[in-house]
Amino acid sequence: MGQRLPIIYVRGFAGGQNAIDDAVDDPFYGFNEGSTHIRVGAGGQPRFYQFEGPLLRFLKEQDYKLSIAGSQQQALLTATPGELAPDSIWIYRFYDADSGTFGPAPQPYDIGQAAKGLAAFIALVRSKTQDGPPVYLVAHSMGGLICRTVLQRELDDPNGAVSKLCTIGTPHGGIDPQMGGPVGGWIMDKFGPMGSQIFTPDHMQQYMLRDDHELAAGINPRTGQWDPRRMVGEFSPHRVLSIVGTDSTDYAVAQGLSSAVMGVQSDGLVAIRNAYVYGSARAYVHRSHSGRYGLVNSEEMYQNLSRFILGGLRVEVGLHGLNFAEQADRIWQAEVRVAIQGIPVLMHEQTAEHYCPVDLNAESKEISTPVSPVPLVTIFLQPKTQNTCRYALDLKVMSLKEDGGILGFGDHLEQIGDWEDTLIVDVQLGGNGTAQRLTWQWNSTLIGRIADQSELTNPLTWEPDNTGESEWHVVIQVPDAAKTLLGGDARLELLASSWD
């Protein structure tokens, strides 16, 4: 099971002096906000669904603690070294010095100084916590860039100071308007804290990298520039979860102009192609950058975050053995959804409707792209000692004919998959995160409702790898109907490892 370590929240950009002042007025910088809207009604119309917010859910469901004594900073300063419990939540209030509401003139905001302050805040939290443990960093939007700067530039021992990083709608690759031109420039100047420069690779490398860093290894061959999506330094992207938003239409900033400029392959502000770190686990969520349908205040975010932090088992699901043979001239795509029994939202959702289907042509070559994660999806499992938890991985394969670079629709049936099925997996984990019992079955072989199935027929046998490490490799064959399309060796491979 994941360790119960201090959680430090780092918020995103506030957007001008008035917005900074509003952010500072909130004791929790907006992380206490929940939501009441969810798009589950007929025709996509919103329905009421009350989610209390991730911070409150951590306090209520995970028994985390919140210490305030006039301020959280004061609670830390007055605590004796090692006094505080490790399962605690802290808000890094980097905007306070930039506020004009406390008397002194506001200081100009600087992301580099915010990163230096976060390094000091991490050190303070660790020094006042039992055994001085590392912390979890949870960041929204620009806050993820502050965390990246801390890990890559400010900390001498990033692995000793930080256990895991979760970023939510963070522009790891910068912000580049799809429309461009004067309208795109206006959006960047209006909503960028230092204009558009702060989110360009040239400027990002100034605050994210050490002065002696060698840039050549991180050059993007497409642009000829350093690619900020690649982490540098000792902290492994394996310890990072990138939550990517795919709903551009519900981002209401600038009366919807931002989402129009950024294009449909975005969360309304950050493009899907820029919202992840290479090598990190990814969760694609149909939420916008912020607002009533936003990522940061959503149950989707909380469910992914809590499992990433506190889960006991990491399962990477890969789609291997793809061979399109004589149909290689087609554009092959897949839609992927992950659901968990008892949770009213999808944990992961990559679909053509949301402009981010999986590019199976790239997947077959094991090329990781913005819409083709390799592995296909990464799931974190939380221990449950009493009940078996049921997971569903829904797969849908589609193809389009391409001739000379032009798509042909003569044999196309819109949104109809050439093959579709759902892998159902029952998982029972012990209190330490060890897999006790796992069974699986394809939905096409079930009779009746999925919820009515008390037992699945196929046991999963977990065998440690030959190094003796706590890692297991499992192969699940896809149905024959899928092999006809994907190749006779097509299969799902599950790589499971202990996660703490």
The pLDDT value given to residue 197? 64
Name, in order, each residue with C-beta under 8 angstroms of 161's C-beta and a sequence gap of 6 or more: 122, 123, 126, 134, 135, 155
- Output helix, strand, coil percentages for the chain, rounded to the nearest 5: 30, 30, 45
The pLDDT value given to residue 230? 92
Question: CA 445: distance to chain centroid?
Answer: 32
Mean pLDDT of 266-283: 95
CA atoms of 376 and 492, how far apart (whole Å): 9
CA atoms of 57 and 92, how far apart (whole Å): 19
The pLDDT value given to residue 284? 98
The pLDDT value given to residue 328? 66
The pLDDT value given to residue 205? 87
Residue with more model confidence, 103 or 378:
378
What the block records as the tokens of 19 is 């917005």
Mean pLDDT of 232-260: 88
Helix, coil or strand: residue 87:
coil
The pLDDT value given to residue 196? 52
- Average the pLDDT over each of 262-266, 380-384, 410-414, 470-474 and give the range with the smallest value: 410-414
The pLDDT value given to residue 405? 66
Residue 171, CA distances (Å) to 217, 261, 270, 276, 381 in order: 21, 16, 6, 8, 27
Pairing of strands 419-429, 35-38: unpaired
Q: To the nearest whole number, what is the mean pLDDT of the chain?
A: 87
- Average the pLDDT over each of 88-102, 321-335, 400-414, 443-457 and give the range with the smallest value: 400-414
Nearest C-alpha neighbor of 38 from the set 315, 234, 395, 299: 299
CA atoms of 269 and 318, how far apart (whole Å): 30
Taking 80 as the threshold, does the pLDDT of residue 383 lie above it? no
Mean pLDDT of 263-276: 93
pTM over 0.85: yes
Nearest C-alpha neighbor of 330 from the set 396, 398, 395, 416: 398
Q: For residue range 148-207, list pLDDT tens digits in order.
A: 999 999 999 999 999 999 999 999 998 876 655 555 555 555 554 445 567 777 788 889
Tokens 């929790």 belong to 28
The pLDDT value given to residue 193? 42
Q: For residue range 97-127, list pLDDT tens digits in order.
A: 888 888 778 888 888 999 999 999 999 999 9
Taking 70 as the threshold, does the pLDDT of residue 1 lie above it? no
Name, in order, each residue with C-beta under 8 angstroms of 187's C-beta and a sequence gap of 6 or more: 177, 254, 257, 258, 261, 262
